[in-house]
Amino acid sequence: MTGVIVLNTDNTALHTVSVQHAVKMLVRQVAIVEEARDGHQIGPYPWPLVLRLIRYVKTNFIYARTPAWSKRGVLRRDRHLCTYCSGTADTADHLLPQSRGGTNSWLNTVAACTRCNNVKANRTPSEAGMRLAWRPWVPTWREAMPTGRG
Ligand SMILES: [Zn+2]
């Protein structure tokens, strides 16, 4: 069973809850569905993946508005697939290499296998003549967070 991410009204993530708990929140009308699983319903509701609270909840904690970058997050976002060869990715490749000022950021990193990463080495994809199967993007909470099987 996968967890449902609960967002505050300002898009910060508060915590995850069970699907059953999420449906109770929908029934009580304290939250709306922000992201749903395609083609799945629970009663009258879309199957929730991410909920947004209707009223702001004050917390003593500071949460980032978008998921913080991590190598694991890049692998999750890209479904553990190498963008260059579609093999199993086990590393995050920097489009602009770190040695040349590339940053650990969502838009500068893609999932890659060790072999492609080594072939590309200290070059950009175009310098190396390597094609990306997709452009990196800033993931949603759901795409980057370790819920369910992760
Ligand atoms: Zn590869």
> In this predicted structure, what is the pLDDT of residue 149?
41
Classified as helix, coil or strand, 87 is coil
If you measure from the C-alpha of residue 49 to the centroid of ligand 1, how many angstroms do you get, rounded to a whole number? 30
CA of 136 to the centre of ligand 1 (A): 16
Q: Which amino acid is at 128?
A: A
pLDDT of 150: 37
Which pLDDT does position 60 carry in this prediction?
Answer: 56
Smallest CA-to-CA distance from 78 within 93, 65, 96 is with: 93
pLDDT at residue 136 in the model: 94
Kindly calculate the radius of gyration of the chain based on its CA atoms and give it in whole angstroms: 18
Instruction: Report pLDDT for 64.
Output: 54
Helix (H/G/I), strand (E/B), else coil: 26: helix
The CA distance from 60 to 63, in Å, is 10
Distance 128 CA to ligand 1 centre (A): 13
pLDDT of res. 143: 85
Q: Write the burial class of residue 64 (CB in 10 Å: 0-12 exposed, 13-18 middle, 19+ buried).
A: exposed
| CA of residue 94 to ligand 1 center, whole Å | 13
For residue 38, the CA-to-ligand 1 centroid distance in Å is: 29
Question: How confident is the prediction along the chain (150 residues), in pLDDT tens digits per residue?
Answer: 468 999 988 888 888 899 999 999 999 899 999 999 888 999 899 999 999 999 887 765 555 567 889 999 999 999 999 999 999 999 999 999 999 999 999 999 999 999 999 999 999 999 999 999 999 998 887 788 765 443
The pLDDT of residue 67 is 82
- The three-class DSSP label of residue 117 is helix
* DSSP symbol at 100: G
